[in-house]
Amino acid sequence: MKTFISNRGALLKEARDYVMITIAMVSYCIGWTIFLLPNNITTGGLAGIASIIFWSTDIPVQYSYFTINALLMLFALRILGLKFCIKTIYGIVTLTLLLSVVRSATVGIHLLKDQPFMAAVIGSCFCGAGVGIGLSSNGSTGGTDIVAAIINKYYEVSLGRIILICDILIITSSYFVLKDWEMVIYGYVVLIITAYCIDQVVNSMRRSVQFFIISDKYEEIGRRINHNPHRGCTVIDAHGFYSGREVKMLFVLAKKRESQIIFRLINEVDPAAFVSQSAVIGVYGEGFDRFKVHGPQASSVASKLRKAVTNKDNKDCRM
């Protein structure tokens, strides 16, 4: 039964990832093809390269975008793993198809023709949100997103900052085709806003919280939290200073989006429970982010962490 529930949960998570990647590609496609490309505003990554090729040779962006991405995926397969690459390939194929559809459906439509700055702001917001959602769902739009994902896998470096550094040369090189420094400056605006949006989206989707729960029905609350949202609970022996009574306190770490589920089940089990919730900067371990420790001290750090977990005095009520 537990295996069935686990498999069902994994399938639902995978389905959610693909749905979110599809939404991400729609957002990116809107920002690029409706607001940026018609106004001769360059974006970063392969989208920027494809735009430059389109302006100089009239080759449709979807063709050059897909071809260069296919070459990059050959290198990314070994480093990022099959799981990431499958979702990235799905994102690339989805975006390529969307580009063909949207480009055909918007022939003759030119939004914000006389307002390039507004086009740059709106387009970059759509693109940044798309990239952020894609990366948070273990996929991407390809190109420099792949480079950023590779670096972020091993080092605690901002995804937006990596993309900003990788893309600045692409924006600058658009001058040789457009011959207009004003458009290059708008490209820099796009790059900065896109990087900011990526960080905001990724950080908001990875945000975690911690709970301290004091209740006489802590066992039932712990079992409910174990079942859904599938989070572990640690039972801490506590002592009420004012009442002098021994109490049990649950310590729970969860994703912010799971907060309402936890609050709802606590209210169902014990409306009189005392609950404290607070935001945490980072949570590392099973079910959350991975440790990013490298160098000769990596193995010793890992062994110390394992030893600390093994020797802890708190009781784990994970079922």
The string of pLDDT tens digits covering residues 233-266 is 889 998 888 888 888 899 998 888 788 889 999 9
Integer Cα distance of 18 and 139 in angstroms: 9
How confident is the model over 22-37, as a mean pLDDT? 91
Q: What is the DSSP string of 213-270?
A: EE-TTHHHHHHHHHHTT---EEEEEEE-TTT--EEEEEEEEEEGGGHHHHHHHHHHH-
How confident is the model over 73-95, as a mean pLDDT? 76
Which of these, 42, 156, 139, lies nearest to 91 by C-alpha position? Answer: 139
Q: Tell which wins on pLDDT, 75 or 218.
A: 218
Query: Per-residue confidence at 302, pLDDT binned at 50, 70, 90?
Result: very low
Residue 157 in tokens: 């470096």
How confident is the model over 82-106, as a mean pLDDT? 84
Integer Cα distance of 177 and 61 in angstroms: 15
The amino acid sitting at 177 is V
Integer Cα distance of 91 and 23 in angstroms: 10
User: Which of 82-96 are b and which e, b meaning 16 or more Cβ less than 10 Å from the residue's Cβ?
Assistant: eebbebbbbbbebbb
Query: Per-residue confidence at 153, pLDDT binned at 50, 70, 90?
Result: low
Give the three-state DSSP class for 279.
strand
Annotate 124-192 with three-state secondary structure: HHHHHHHHHHHHHCCCCCCCHHHHHHHHHHHCCCCHHHHHHHHHHHHHHHCHHHHCCHHHHHHHHHHHH
For a pLDDT cut of 90, what percent of the chain falls above it? 15
Q: At residue 313, does pLDDT exceed 60?
A: no
Exposed/middle/buried for residue 311 (C-beta within 10 Å: 0-12, 13-18, 19+): exposed
Q: At residue 121, does pLDDT exceed 90?
A: yes
Are 195 and 160 spatial neighbours (Cβ–Cβ below 8 Å)?
yes
Listed by start position, the domains of the chain span 2-205, 207-316
| CATH topology assigned to domain 207-316 | Alpha-Beta Plaits (3.30.70)
Integer Cα distance of 269 and 275 in angstroms: 13
- Whole-model pTM: value is 0.69
Query: Per-residue confidence at 294, pLDDT binned at 50, 70, 90?
Result: very low
Are 144 and 166 spatial neighbours (Cβ–Cβ below 8 Å)?
yes
Query: Per-residue confidence at 291, pLDDT binned at 50, 70, 90?
Result: low
Q: At residue 319, does pLDDT exceed 60?
A: no
Q: At residue 188, does pLDDT exceed 80?
A: yes
How confident is the model over 122-149, as a mean pLDDT? 80
